[in-house]
Amino acid sequence: MLMGTFPYVYFPEKEDEFVRHDGDVVTKLVKGISLIAFSDRLHKFIERKMARTIIVKHLGRKIGFNALLNKVTTLWSSRQSIQLMDLENGYYLVRFQDEGGFNKVLVGGPWV
């Protein structure tokens, strides 16, 4: 997986920290099928981490990761930092540091 951040603003470390406690992840077999259960605390952490994230599907000819990062940063004229993660097969996660930039792009684009 490729990851890149356009370096306007640094993401605070505390947002990325998660200390796992007993009971946060429970795995067991139920009728031969693996079951993984997460605590409410872990669910809230994941939800908080994904709150300003969109999934983007790149259509058309393939372009390089850095070219795509530069293109979306220019198109969306983001003043704040964005983080781009390659999920493979033309899918990307774009994570915004601020709610304003996230809403601007989600509602207004541009997308092409």
The range of the structural domain enclosing residue 82 comes to: 3-20+52-108
What's 13's domain CATH number?
3.30.70
Q: How many domains does the chain have?
A: 1
pTM recorded for the entire structure: 0.63
Task: Judge whether residue 33 has pLDDT over 60.
Answer: yes
Whether 29 is in a domain gets the answer no
Task: Judge whether residue 11 has pLDDT over 50.
Answer: no
Task: Judge whether residue 38 has pLDDT over 80.
Answer: yes
Q: Can you give the pLDDT at residue 2? A: 47
* Amino acid at position 36, single letter: I
At 44-88, the pLDDT tens digits run 888 888 888 988 888 888 888 888 888 888 888 766 678 899 998
Instruction: Please give the full DSSP string across 26-66, using - where no structure is assigned.
Output: EEEEETTEEEEEE-HHHHHHHHHHHTTEEEEE--SS---HH
